[in-house]
């Protein structure tokens, strides 16, 4: 055999090998048509590795169809072929889209990717219901990312919301933060999503300044959201900004007038304004009387809504008690006996207003130390030695 003949035979062999891979792709498609998914998968996996077919959009479309069919198959022998067939189908459709310069497959790809996106969401829900939270997070994130793809172009905000919730269940706090921020960008949940991020930043990440900024942004965007009004209120209360807090509570009460906690908080603010820390400017007598009256009104309103509300019961009792002490402190400088007696009588009346409230608070929470301490002082003033001794013993045993 001469060299020319040998060369010709080699050329034919090379051509045959090059032709073999397109035939593998065709074979894969034919196997798919006959429902022979095992053979289809074997053939297409070979086709995507060969340079003659690996950069052809058709190859990746066929691969996507085959793996999608494996995912959707009802036959266990085919379902067992791959652990992540839906993910591989999506990868293939995405690759096909990238290679399909002439857009021959676009319409078909759109339909298939939309179906896959919905299936990813459903898989996430099923994994969540089985408490397989790691898998659920992956499916929800993939579903959301698919919804942003040009082939789908319909943002699935529910998917990213679900992903954020699952990330919190997994205690993946940084991941949850990123996902809540993504929720905010999409507008999902409106003010409630800002609130979710705020709580995560405060409770888990301890990023108070960041939480304040989130609430500030949320209030600007959703000024009517009650939860954000209350969140901002809590920051004002922590910072001792009573005037700002008062404004926020009144805003919140417009939305929820029968919220006992808001009435209690407003009563506490007025109490603070009536009795500020000694380092702060003190109110005039007229200002004190106004704040005192407003505080009494708000605590009483809270108790109208819930007569067993311990905090409101105790604070109203404490308001009367402290009011009586304030009168007695002022009376110490009175030289006129009649005026002193009148002041003392007024103080005693307030002490007696405080007594039944503090006794009721004690019945609700028998181990509350401030309540017992106040009762001890009241029983000493009223001369009730038996109750004084009983309370003293309870304090010793706490």
* Domains defined along the chain, listed by start: 12-104 (1.25.40), 308-398 (1.25.40)
Structure tokens at 336: 């006129």
- pLDDT tens per residue, range 217-259: 999 999 888 888 888 888 988 888 888 888 888 988 988 899 9
Task: Please measure the distance between the N-terminal and C-terminal CA atoms of the chain and give it in whole angstroms.
Answer: 110
| pLDDT above 70: residue 7 | no
> Which residue bears the tokens 């304040």?
212
Q: Are residues 370 and 358 in contact, defined by beta-carbon separation less than 8 angstroms?
A: no
What percentage of residues in the chain have a pLDDT greater than 70?
94
- pLDDT tens per residue, range 296-343: 999 999 999 999 999 999 999 999 999 999 999 989 888 888 999 999
CA distance 18 to 118: 39
DSSP state of 275: S
Max CA separation in the chain (angstroms): 141
CA distance 260 to 242: 19
- pLDDT tens per residue, range 113-140: 999 999 999 999 999 999 999 999 999 9
CA distance 162 to 189: 12
DSSP state of 257: T
Residue 10: pLDDT band with limits 50, 70, 90: very low
- Rounded mean pLDDT of 193-219? 95
Residue 22: pLDDT band with limits 50, 70, 90: low
């Amino acid at each position: 055999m001469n060299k020319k003949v040998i060369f010709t035979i080699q050329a034919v062999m090379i051509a045959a090998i090059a032709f073999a891979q397109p035939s593998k792709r065709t074979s894969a498609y034919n196997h798919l048509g006959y429902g022979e998914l095992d053979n289809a998968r074997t053939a297409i996996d070979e086709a995507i590795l060969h340079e003659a077919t690996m950069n052809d959009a058709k190859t990746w479309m066929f691969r996507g169809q085959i793996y999608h069919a494996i995912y959707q198959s009802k036959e266990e022998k085919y379902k067992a072929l791959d652990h992540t067939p839906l993910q591989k189908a999506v990868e293939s459709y995405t690759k096909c889209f990238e290679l399909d310069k002439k857009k021959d497959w676009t319409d078909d790809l759109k339909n298939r990717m939309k179906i896959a996106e919905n299936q990813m969401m459903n898989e996430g829900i099923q994994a969540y219901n089985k408490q397989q939270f790691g898998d659920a997070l992956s499916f929800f994130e993939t579903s959301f990312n698919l919804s942003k793809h040009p082939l789908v172009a319909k943002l699935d905000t529910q998917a990213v919301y679900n992903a954020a919730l699952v990330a919190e269940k997994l205690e993946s706090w940084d991941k949850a933060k990123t996902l809540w921020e993504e929720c905010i960008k999409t507008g999902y949940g409106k003010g409630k999503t800002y609130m979710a991020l705020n709580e995560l930043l405060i409770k888990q990440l301890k990023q108070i300044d960041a939480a304040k900024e989130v609430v500030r942004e949320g209030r600007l965007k959703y000024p009517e959201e009650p939860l954000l009004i209350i969140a901002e209120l809590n920051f004002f209360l922590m910072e001792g900004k009573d005037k700002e807090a008062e404004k926020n509570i009144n805003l919140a009460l417009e939305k929820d007038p029968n919220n006992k906690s808001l009435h209690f908080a407003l009563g506490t603010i007025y109490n603070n304004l009536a009795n500020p820390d000694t380092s702060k400017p003190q109110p005039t007598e007229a200002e004190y009387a106004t704040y005192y009256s407003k505080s009494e009104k708000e605590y009483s309103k809270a108790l109208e809504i819930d007569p067993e509300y311990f905090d409101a019961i105790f604070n109203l009792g404490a308001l009367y008690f402290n009011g009586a002490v304030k009168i007695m402190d002022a009376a110490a400088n009175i030289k006129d006996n009649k005026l002193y007696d009148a002041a003392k009588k007024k103080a005693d009346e307030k002490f007696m207003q405080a007594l039944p409230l503090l006794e009721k608070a004690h019945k609700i929470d028998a181990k509350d130390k401030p309540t017992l301490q106040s009762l001890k002082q009241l029983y000493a003033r009223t001369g009730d030695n038996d109750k004084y001794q009983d309370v003293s013993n309870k304090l010793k045993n706490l």
